[in-house]
Structure 1
């Protein structure tokens, strides 16, 4: 076995042993679930930080007692943009296109191989 393969396997092993975080940044609260190597979930709910959303995420990680260095994967979701649209807190926008190309803006459909998969190639 050459050195490259053992390094790659070692990196994969560390990543698999690292924490997996799911975080939802909302307008009011940032919710976080951390799954550690022991399989036990740790949950945190902290106030969101609109001036910089990362601060709320970091505060939630700190609340779990986990070290950021031990995090292997972060899955992020947010309702901030949806809330801003619903509350009409955004600038007016428009779509200008050439005649005959009104459908140039396509909406994605849930035609994915794994709807809740963390990885994959999504071809519209």
Structure 2
């Protein structure tokens, strides 16, 4: 996570619209997020991982954290699966960055993004 993004997140500005994002682009992005969240919710027998509000905003059911990009839906699910029951991929959790890294120290997974190279590449478990 970039320093600028982390600062925006801490300042509570993560839900603001990018100055370069048009209304149509924003709606398309939100539709993709909703679709990903709906797919993940359908797959879970327990509590669904996402809450989809009437206005279309998607948040994580665990802590109300807003989902801001479509890749974050699968990353969120995989992140909590790894936190609850490690998958045997040999991932190491770093509390400071709130992310998992493989045995070579390469980024693999956070709540926002999953890097398949780090998860399944030559340096994975």
| TM-score under structure 1 length normalisation | 0.23
Q: Which has more helix, going by share of residues?
A: 2
> More strand per residue: 1 or 2?
1
Larger radius of gyration: 1
Higher relative contact order (CA 8 A, sep 6+): 1
